[in-house]
Amino acid sequence: MKTIYMSLIVVLMATLLFPSCSSPRHPKIGLLVHSFENERWEKDKTYLENEITRLGGKVFFELAGNNQAIQIDQAKKMIDQGAKVLIVIPIKQSEAAKIVEMAHQYGVKVIAYDRMINNCDLDYYVSANSISIGEMQASCLTSIKPKGEYALICGSRYDNNSMRLFIGQMNVLEPLMEKGDVKVVSSEFTEDWTPEEGYRHTLQLLDKYGETLTGIIAGSDALAGGVIQALKDRGKEGKIMVAGQDAELQALKAIVWGYQTCTVLKPLKEMATQAAKLAVDLASGENVAPTDIRESNGKILVPSILLNSILVTKDNLEQTVIASGYHTKDEIYH
């Protein structure tokens, strides 16, 4: 009997000292971010790193400077360092498929974060519901002015969210167009999400429709910032409604000043929390519950987590952005 007890003790000590290799204590996660061109991406990085670390994971981080070839090389470097899962914010959604194909050769899973990766066997997709965001933007402007001429600056042609925003916007605008109340005079995609693109497109719009334009729906607050600058340069700030998304600080200030009509607060912390848990579970070999949502990436229906966002206007700014801690009252009003 004594021998049996001693054997059990030895087995228990061995288990404690040498945990199973199938469930690593500090799973390695690669975080590949396209750029910090807009302020929200630094928040995403911080939320993701903090949550992965809290869950016991180790994070490898790389910033690609909006260069897809560099990001592909960074992914290979992380795989060589032992990353078991990659969280990727891609630059070009089709070219980034090379990351997924390469990762799978080494048994590494890939989670597309915020932006889909197309035409590949992508493992998971975590994002906000962009169709719903587009609907909120269009509903906000048309509730104020249900008749008039609207223009859409949809966002980067390389990002699936741009098309999803457009679909959401048109879900609201098309019935009004059929009634003859609304006319969409322009809908264009941009090369990227920068203020420069918003500025350039808006000047073109003002040259053609400046005397009759009712509102401009921009795909992001960065684009909306360029829209507002163009309106200022033409003396039309505050006279044409502007919608954006991302609840960036400058956009919130513009809402207070009356230059921007609305923005959208995306659930970045919740997105990061969901993506981090998914990544750590996958890297640790844990069972992952199937998702109810599947999004097409042109090749497969990707298991997806899509979260809801909140419309932000001057009337509810304190109850949304400030109450959530995303930005403080002092930051916005000073």
pLDDT at position 25 is 72
pLDDT at position 24 is 57
Residue ranges per domain, the chain? 20-128+268-306, 130-245
pLDDT tens for residues 268-278? Answer: 999 999 999 99
pLDDT at position 260 is 98
Q: Examine the pLDDT at 8 and tell me if it is beyond 70.
A: no
pLDDT at position 157 is 93
pLDDT tens for residues 78-121? Answer: 999 999 999 999 999 999 999 999 999 999 999 999 999 999 99
pLDDT tens for residues 204-244? Answer: 999 999 999 999 999 999 999 999 999 999 999 999 999 99
User: Environment class of residue 66 by beta-carbon count within 10 Å: exposed (0-12), middle (13-18) or buried (19+)?
Assistant: middle
> In CATH terms, is domain 130-245 a member of 3.30.930.10?
no
pLDDT at position 138 is 98
| Separation of first and last alpha carbons in the chain | 76
Q: Examine the pLDDT at 36 and tell me if it is beyond 90.
A: yes
- Are 20-128+268-306 and 130-245 the same fold in CATH? yes
Which residue has 């509810």 as its token pair? Answer: 316
pLDDT tens for residues 145-154? Answer: 999 999 999 9
Architecture of domain 20-128+268-306: 3-Layer(aba) Sandwich (3.40)
Mean pLDDT of 174-192: 97
What's the pLDDT band for 7 if we cut at 50, 70, 90? Answer: very low
